[in-house]
Amino acid sequence: MRRLFIGIVENGVFELLFPPPASSTFVRLTTTGIRDSVPPENGELNLIEYEKAAIAIEGHADGGSWIYSASVVDTGEPIVTALVEKVFRE
C-alpha cells in the first residue's frame, strides 16, 4: 500500500518528518520497486531542485533507509515549508 510521506530536502537529502521515522530521519527515494531485480540506487531521485523545500512523497517504505516506488506529489512554497518545520521539527 502506497503511503504519503512529508519531509524537507536539505543538501539534496530527504529528511522524513511525517510519519515519524522508526530509525533514521534521512531516507533515500527511488522509483525502483521493492521487489525489482535492480538495486534501488538505479532509480534514486535527484532532489536538488527541491532544495530547502517541503515535499510530499507517495511510495512504499521498507522500514529502513529507502522509500520505494517514490514519486513527488506536492511541493511547498516557502511559507508552507516554514509551517512544516514548525509543526514537525518542534
Structural domain boundaries of the chain? 3-89
pTM assigned to the model: 0.90
Q: Show the cell assigned to 79.
A: 511559507
- Number of Cβ within 10 Å of residue 56's Cβ equals 16
Q: Show the cell assigned to 41.
A: 540506487
For residue 68, the model assigns a pLDDT of 96
Q: Show the cell assigned to 72.
A: 513527488
Residue whose grid cell is 500500500: 1
Q: d(Cα 86, Cα 90) in Å, to the nearest integer?
A: 6
Q: d(Cα 67, Cα 83) in Å, to the nearest integer?
A: 23
Tens digit of each residue's pLDDT, the chain (90 residues): 789 999 999 999 999 999 987 777 899 999 999 999 999 999 999 999 999 999 999 999 887 889 999 999 999 999 999 999 999 987
